[in-house]
Chains A and B, each alone.
Chain A
Amino acid sequence: MLLEVSNLNIHFPTNQKNTFVHAVRDLSFHLNQGEMLGVVGESGSGKSITNLALLGLLPNDTKITADKILFEENSLMKLSDRSWQKIRGSKISMIFQDPMTALNPFLTIEYQITEVLRTHLHLSKKDSFDRTIELLNLVGISSPKDRLKNYPFELSGGMAQRVMIAMSIATNPKLLIADEPTTALDVTIQKQILELLKSLQQKLNLSILLVTHDLGLVAQYSDRIQVMYAGEIVETGHTSDLITSPLHPYTKGLIESRPKGKSEKAKTQLYSIPGIVPSFSNRPQGCQFHPRCSNKINQCENAILMKEINHNHFSRCILSKSEKV
C-alpha cells in the first residue's frame, strides 16, 4: 500500500475566536502502487483540501488530526518544513487545474523543468538538459528542442498542461495528484491529456489520485472511485461496481442526473437532487446528505459509519443493502 489515510479530520479557524469549521471529517482511504483512484465531488466536498493536506500545504493555523497518514510506511503527520520539502515535488507531486496560471509566466519552459531536476535530484546542467528533452518527448510534445526556449504564453492550453505533467513526473514521484487537470481544457484535449496520464500510470507504475467533478471522466479512466460529499466519503468501490450498482443515494442521484445523450429522447425531465450542498458552517447532524435524501428515516440523524456492503464496495448509508445473496 502506497498511501494510507485513516480518520483524517481538518478544521479551519474562523474569524471568531476559538471557533472552527469542520471541513473534512473522518476521511479514511488507501491507494495502492500503480493504481488510479478517482475522487468525485462537488464544490465544498473537501476534495481539494484533502489534496493540500497530503502535500502539507495547508495554512499553519489549520487543525489536522488523523489516526494515521502513512506514505510508503512513513507518517506524514507533523513533519517539519524541511522534511516536507524532501517529499513534496519529489515523491508526491501535483498537477493543478489551470496550467496557464500554474506555470510562471516570466520563465522559460526549460528553466522551469530543469529547476525541479536540479533542486531535487542535483543533476548537472547537461544531465538535466537531456532529461528535460526526454521528459518532453514522454509527454508527447513534438520537437521538444524548439520548445525549450518558449514562455508559457506561447503554448496552447493542452501543451502547457503537458509541460506541467512533465514537471510533475520529472523526479519519478510515487504519487501524482491531479486536481481537476482538464477542467480548463477543450474536450478533445481533455481526452488526450487523460490518455497520457493513463499511459504514464502504466509505463511508470505511477499511482494517480484523479480529482474531478465529472463522474464520466473517472468512470472511463480510474480503477477505483471514491465519491465525496460535504467533507465525507460517502461511497467507494471498484469503478464498474460503483457505476453499475451504486449504493449511496447521492451517487445514484449523480448518475441519474447526467444527461444520457444517445440512449434517451431529447427534452425529457432529468432526475435532479433537490436542494444544495450545505455550507461549511451549517452542516447537518448525522448523515450529511439526509436533508436532500428521499429515503431518509429518523436514524439518519445519528452518526453513520462506512460499511462494507459488497466485497470492497463501501457506503455511508444505513439503508444500503447488498443485492447479492
Chain B
Amino acid sequence: MNIIKIQNLSKTYLIKKLFQSEKNLHALKNINFEIESGKTFGIVGESGCGKSTLAKVLTKLEEKTSGEVFFLEKPFESLSRQAFNESIQMVFQDPYQSLNPRKTAFQIVADPLVIQNKLSREEIHSKVEEMFTKVGLSKDFLSRYPHQFSGGQRQRIGIARALMLKPKILILDEPVSALDVSIQAQVLNLLIDIQKEFQLTYIFISHDLSVMAHMCDTIAVMYLGQIVELGTRDQIINDPIHPYTKMLMASTPDLFKKNQQTIDVLGEIPNPFEITKGCAFYSRCSLKTSQCASHDVFLQLKNNRRVACIMT
C-alpha cells in the first residue's frame, strides 16, 4: 500500500531584491512519486537540488505552491495538526544544532508527549526511559545536557525524540553526514533496527550514494528541483541511465575504484534563474543535442524505468 503519494508538487519562492524586479525561484518542479509502507525512499542530489525543500514541504514547515500530497489516501490538508504530528516526524542533519542546549536529554525527548498533553508524568517518564534503551542510550544519561554527549549519542537523542509519538513516517535529512566515520555505521545500524521494530517508512535524504545504496529500497535522483531518475535501488546503483546519475556514481569515492573513469565530471550547478527552457542538466551533459535546450523534460516511464532525459 502507498503510504504517501505526491502528485505534481511544486514549490516556488518569490525572491525580492532591492532595485530589482521580483523573480520566481522554482525550488521544486512537478514532483511525482509514491512510497510504499515500510520501505525506505531515498532522495539524493547536490546542494540546491531541492531535497531539503521537499522535506520541509512534507513536514509542513513550508507551504506547497501547487500539487497534491496524499497520506494514506487522504489529502494532507485534511489532517489535523495533531494527527499530522503523529504520522510524520523528522531527524535533522546536525545533532549539535538541533538539540536545545538548555534542556536535559529527558526534557528534549519528553517534549513531544508533554505538548500532546495526553499522558501523566509517570507514564511519560517510563515511555522516555523505554525509548532511551531502544536507541541504545543508558538511563543514567537522562538528566544530562546535550553538550555532555558525543555526536553519535546526540543523533540517538534526535532519533528518540522523533519516535516518541510513534510516527508512521520518519524523514531523515542527512542523518549521518555530520558524524565521524566509525560512528556513522553505529547510527545506520540503529536506523535499520528501529525500522523493523516500529515498521517505519523512511524518507532518507543524502548526498552520499554509498550510504543510499546501503539503506534504500527506492532512490530518486534530484537535480535543480526536478527528479531526473527514479527507480529501485538495484536499477539506480547497478544500471544508472540518466547522465547525471552516472556522473554522481563516478564521483562517489570508493576504496577499490580504479582511477579510470569513462565519464567526465564537468561543470557546476548553474544559476537556477538562468534556466528558462529545456533540460536543467544541459550545460553539464555529455549527451546533449540541440533538442535538449529547446524541449522541457519530464520524468517519463520507458522500459519500466522512470528517467527525465530525451536521449535515453
Contact = CB atoms under 8 A, between A and B. Distances in A.
Interface in B17-44: 40
A163 B272 CA distance: 23
A261 B253 contact: no
B98 interface: no
A271 to B, nearest CB: 7
Q: How large is the interface on A (under 10, 10 to 19, 20 to 34, 35 or more residues)?
A: 35 or more
Contacts of A192: 265
B185 to A, nearest CB: 4
Contact of A215 (B181, B213, B215): B181
A42 B251 CA distance: 22
Contact of A159 (B195, B215, B216, B268): B268
B2 interface: no
B210 A260 contact: yes
A266 B182 contact: no
Interface stretch (A15-23, A199-207, A250-258): A250-258
Given A186-B269, A243-B256, A260-B210, 15 more contacts: A42-B181, A156-B268, A156-B269, A187-B208, A188-B251, A190-B251, A214-B181, A216-B210, A243-B255, A254-B182, A257-B184, A259-B188, A261-B210, A269-B189, A270-B185
Interface in B193-241: 195, 207-211, 213-217, 233, 237-238
In the A-B complex, the 10 residue pairs with the closest CB atoms? A216-B253, A259-B214, A257-B185, A272-B185, A186-B46, A42-B180, A261-B210, A191-B251, A270-B185, A273-B182
20 contacts: A43-B180, A158-B268, A188-B46, A188-B247, A190-B253, A191-B265, A195-B265, A213-B180, A213-B181, A214-B253, A216-B253, A220-B253, A220-B254, A220-B257, A221-B259, A258-B185, A264-B214, A266-B216, A269-B192, A277-B182
A213 B184 CA distance: 12
Interface in A165-181: none
A221 B268 CA distance: 21
Contact of B255 (A156, A188, A216, A268): A216
A273 B185 contact: yes
Interface in B245-264: 247-248, 250-257, 259
Nearest to A229: B182
Contacts of A221: 259
A189 interface: yes
Given A186-B46, A191-B250, A261 B237 contact: yes
B7 interface: no
B150 interface: yes
A219 interface: yes
B214 A188 contact: no
A262 B238 contact: yes
Nearest to B216: A266
B286 interface: no
Contacts of A156: 268-269
A258 B181 contact: yes
Contacts of B158: none
B210 A258 contact: yes
Given A192-B265, A259-B210, A261-B213, A276 B248 contact: no
Interface of B: 40, 46-47, 150, 152, 180-186, 188-189, 192, 195, 207-211, 213-217, 233, 237-238, 247-248, 250-257, 259, 265, 268-269
Interface of A: 42-43, 156, 158-159, 186-192, 195, 213-217, 219-221, 243, 253-255, 257-262, 264, 266-273, 276-277
B182 A270 contact: no
A186 B188 contact: no
A276 B150 contact: yes
A219 B255 contact: yes
Nearest to B255: A219
A42 B181 CA distance: 7
B182 A272 contact: yes
Contacts of A43: 180
B153 to A, nearest CB: 8
A213 B182 CA distance: 10
Nearest to B184: A257
Given A243-B255, A259-B213, A266-B214, A254 B268 contact: no
Given A188-B247, A192-B265, A220-B254, A266 B215 contact: yes
Contacts of B256: 219, 243
B232 to A, nearest CB: 10
Contacts of A254: 181-182
Contacts of A189: 46, 268
Contacts of A258: 181, 185, 210, 255
A102 B140 CA distance: 42
B181 A261 contact: no
Given A42-B182, A187-B248, A191-B250, A260 B237 contact: no
A32 to B, nearest CB: 20
Contacts of A260: 210, 213-214
Contacts of B257: 220
Contact of B252 (A187, A257, A268, A273): A187
Contacts of B269: 156, 186
A188 to B, nearest CB: 5
A186 B213 contact: no
A270 B207 contact: no
Contacts of A277: 180, 182
Contacts of A220: 253-254, 257, 259
Nearest to A243: B255
